[in-house]
Amino acid sequence: MSQPLSHDAHTAHQFGSRAADYVASAVHAAGEDLAALARFAALPHAAVLDLGCGGGHVTYAVAPQVRSVTALDLSQAMLDAVAAEAQRRGLANVATRQASVEALPFADASFDGVVSRYSAHHWGDVPAALREAHRVLASGGRFGLVDVVHPGPPLLDTHLQAWELLRDPSHVRDYGEAEWRRMLAEAGFVPGAVRRWRVRMEFSSWVARMGTPEASIAAIRALQTGAPEPVRSHFGLEDDGSFTLDVMMIEAEPDGVSD
């Protein structure tokens, strides 16, 4: 019997085989949240770190406006796809680095900005990742994160996490705003402004992008079909399984106090 993979290895495997799909993903390549995060990170002469870069869409949006962007991911296949796309776009100030967000291979205060989009719900140890982000961020720097957030009530939260996990076994958790504020503060940040959006997920492309097995697709659809009215209403469940997610961007700055 083969040994089970670590969470990081499992995540890298899940996404490495889907690299081209994420570079080409229309959902990831556009959106008000991407534009907002790009504006937030657009600091002249800044060095920016994109944590869990995935298909690289934050990197591509930020690179023309800053000195340099380092795209970091667990999957080398994903990073190879990002490097190729950055070259195709003429973005010469983009570098890639394979590493875990919980153990960043950079010196203290290496970056003026640290950003992440649609990655943190895969992180095995969010507090450790945030401590690392705080460590590599220079004094006066900025941290900005966009991710799916759970909608609050346990009934809605449970259904969302179940759909996510069935679709992608590397999913850990969609956190809520209060959880993010607490974890950021504990990591040494001062949490700031929040912006929210609702983003529609077209079901067939959502599962195809991850290569979700048919049995898991059937399980998701069974949960959706049997979902009570509050779940169907909040997520705007459609007949084909498409639904709407809650997305949040939260800003933070280092508190400047050393441990």
Please determine, for residue 257, whether its predicted confidence score (pLDDT) is greater than 60.
Answer: no
Please determine, for residue 94, whether its predicted confidence score (pLDDT) is greater than 90.
Answer: yes
Please determine, for residue 259, whether its predicted confidence score (pLDDT) is greater than 80.
Answer: no
Mapping DSSP onto H, E and C, the string for the chain reads: CCCCCCHHHHHHHHHHCCHHHHHHCHHHHCCHHHHHHHHHHCCCCCEEEEECCCCCHHHHHHHHHCCEEEEEECCHHHHHHHHHHHHHCCCCCEEEEECCCCCCCCCCCCEEEEEEECCHHHCCCHHHHHHHHHHHEEEEEEEEEEEECCCCCHHHHHHHHHHHHHHCCCCCCCCCHHHHHHHHHHCCEEEEEEEEEEEEECHHHHHHHHCCCHHHHHHHHHHHHCCCHHHHHHCCCCCCCCEEEEEEEEEEEECCCCC
Per-residue pLDDT tens over the stretch 238-252: 999 999 999 999 999
What integer best gives the mean pLDDT of the chain? 90
Please determine, for residue 23, whether its predicted confidence score (pLDDT) is greater than 90.
Answer: no
What integer pLDDT is reported at residue 31 of this predicted model?
A: 80
Comparing 41-45, 232-236, 239-243, which segment has the lowest mean pLDDT? 41-45
User: For 64-88, what is the mean pLDDT?
Assistant: 94
Please determine, for residue 224, whether its predicted confidence score (pLDDT) is greater than 70.
Answer: yes
pLDDT band for 43, please (50, 70, 90 cuts): confident
